[in-house]
Amino acid sequence: MKPSAIVLLIVAPLLFSSPAIAAPPHMQTDTGFYPYAPSLLKWEKTEAEFTDPETCGECHPEKYEQWQGSMHAIAFQDPLYQGELNLAATKAGHDTTRQCEGCHTPAAVVTGEIKGPGLKGLSPIALAGVSCDVCHSVKGHTHWQTPSHQPENGSLILSPGTGEEELTKYGPTAPDEDCGDGFHTCIQSQLHTSSELCASCHQVFNHRTHTPIEVSYQEWRDSPYSAKSIHCQDCHMVDTKTFKRSADELVKPDRTEYRHYFNGANLFLYNLTALAAEKKGNKELAANAREKYDMALARLKAAAELAVSPVYRNGRLAEIRIRVKNIRAGHNLPTSLTNIRQMWLEVTATGPDGKVLMSTGSLDPKGKLAKDTRIFNTRGQDRNLNFSIYPWEIESFSKNETVPPKGFRDVFYGLSMPEKTPVTVHATLRFRQAAQEIAEKLLRLVPDPGHLEKIYGIKEIPLLPVVDMTETTVVINTP
């Protein structure tokens, strides 16, 4: 080999690691078919326009109230999202942030209204994020034509109406001829009763390599819930009692039981929504967001169970085993932003004299977790296998310790004890949506520096709520 060829071999990988990295050949996106790439949305463009949620709410007031204050309503205004979007725009450019916007405010992407981070000067439909008319204009999907041949990055077809400015809304039943009161016509859509509707947005893939990053749909599809036709709607579009029944008995809710709550686990944002509403003097919305907070709390507290048991070696207690069971989440626990969400075990073992023999998983006053804590999350890596939490960087995962649906994960703690000494073990499964420093970093990146004070009336970033999902105390008597 000539020396120049050797130089080229050494230099070539460096050249290709510049910011504009091409997709690998087997994962290239057909930009003719997907004009909004890296978002995989499609739009059947006609004279018919998108409608803002307030207008839909005039005739569908309960649905409007249920959707309001939900994470879908604030998907675009969410300051954590705005912070990360701002970072993405700086680090990867606006062509990349279209991927984010395609899921966080789809209508404004296809109409071309969205030009970058920030809330200024935007129409109500852009600000409304995942609004009524996003979901009810979904005519179909292109899940199997995507580069990964899976639902990803917003692979939905939006069609708010037909050529003659007629609005067509897709729903589960299309009750009768007059459906829509002359404002819109109704088309029955099986898609709206299926997880496939949610799939395209609840599957975040790296926009270049099409590596799966957040995969709630895939986790659900491979679960016993999918096998029994218990879809996302059957847990997330019903109240807490009905969700528990869907999860425990694997029976579908009655048609009259569906609600537009889309309730998940985002306690911090429900809090912020309530603060913003109070600041504006909207007491109703504040109460609404607090109700959704309580609902999310109940959901998290219903999701898991713990079991503690001793492990003996040579007749002596050697270890304690804690089994973390995912009893009611239709996907892994936690799901979606698993490289950011934190679910961990706090465990203390005490001897007969009350002496602490072992303690792990506690938080310090600044909200930092002890280093030896067992966290049930994933760890994203960039192309050089360095730790990353950003969707435009993650290309693989170095670990995945989330708990599969109706499955469990065992954790062992070494604890050797002399014979006949009882040990009391107290274990708590705790959850928060992010490490305090990550939330603070993203919130500080919000485009407009006065944002948090102007909208939410807060000067300091509050501690993120920590939930005790479930706990148990067991006394182990070594024979």
Binds ligand HEC by CB under 6 A, chosen from 72, 141, 210, 325: 72
Neighbours of 258 (CB within 10 A): 18
Cβ proximity of 155 and 142 under 8 Å: yes
Q: Which residue's C-beta sits nearest to ligand HEC?
A: 330
Stretch that binds ligand HEC, among 26-34, 102-110, 278-286, 419-427 (CB under 6 A): 102-110
In the stretch 6-45, what mask flags binding to ligand HEC with x, by CB under 6 A?
Answer: ----------------------------------------
Which residues, numbered 307-326, are part of the site for ligand HEC (CB under 6 A)?
none
Residue showing tokens 């909207």: 282
CB of 61 to ligand HEC, least distance (A): 9
Vertex 114 angle, CA 109 and 116, to 5°: 125
Give the DSSP letter of residue 200: T
Residue 41 CB partners (closer than 8 Å, separation 6+): 34, 102, 106, 109, 110, 154, 155, 156, 158
Touching ligand HEC, residues 395-434 (CB under 6 A) = 433
Nearest to 298 by CA among 341, 247, 345, 255: 247
Q: What contacts 403, CB < 8 A, 6 or more positions away?
A: 304, 324, 325, 326, 332, 333, 376, 409
**Site size for ligand HEC (CB under 6 A):** 95
What are the DSSP calls for 304-334, one per residue? Answer: EEEEEEEEEETTEEEEEEEEEEE-S-SS-BS
By beta-carbon proximity to ligand HEC, the closer residue of 217 and 413 is 217
CA pseudo-torsion sign 224, 228, 231, 233: negative
Residue of 270, 188, 269, 197 whose CA lies nearest to 232 = 197
Binding range to ligand HEC, per CB under 6 A, among 107-115, 255-263, 366-374, 418-426: 255-263
Q: Of residues 42, 143, 210, 341, which one binds ligand HEC by CB under 6 A?
A: 341
Q: How far is CA 399 from CA 13, 165, 331, 375, 402, in A?
A: 26, 51, 17, 11, 9
Judged by CB under 6 A, the chain residues 351 through 390 that form the site for ligand HEC are none
Q: How far is the CB of 332 from ligand HEC (least distance, A)?
A: 7
Q: Which of 69, 78, 277, 310 binds ligand HEC (CB under 6 A)?
A: 78
Find the binding residues for ligand HEC in span 206-245 (CB under 6 A). 216-217, 220, 225, 230, 232-237
Residues between 456 and 475 with contacts to ligand HEC, criterion CB under 6 A:
none
335, 339, 377, 428: which one binds ligand HEC (CB under 6 A): 335
- Distance between CA atoms of residues 273 and 267, nearest Å: 10
Please tell me whether residue 67 binds ligand HEC under the rule CB under 6 A: yes
E strands of 165-293, at which residues?
A: 168-171, 185-188, 203-205, 212-215
Supply the minimum distance, in Å, between the C-beta of residue 138 and ligand HEC. Answer: 7
69 binds ligand HEC (CB under 6 A): no
Residue 125 contacts ligand HEC per CB under 6 A: no
Instruction: Note whether 59 binds ligand HEC by CB under 6 A.
Output: yes
DSSP label of 336: S
Of 142, 193, 378, 428, the one binding ligand HEC (CB under 6 A) is 193
CB of residue 29 vs ligand HEC: minimum separation in angstroms? 13
Residue 195 contacts ligand HEC per CB under 6 A: yes
The identity of residue 445, as a single letter, is L
Rule CB under 6 A: say whether 173 interacts with ligand HEC: yes
For ligand HEC, the closer CB: 198 or 317: 198
Question: Distance between CA 408 and CA 329 in Å, rounded?
Answer: 12
Of 195 and 310, CB closest to ligand HEC: 195
DSSP type of residue 187: E
Span interacting with ligand HEC, options 17-25, 127-135, 380-388, 447-455, rule CB under 6 A: 127-135
- Judged by beta carbon, residue 349 or residue 446, the one nearer ligand HEC is 446
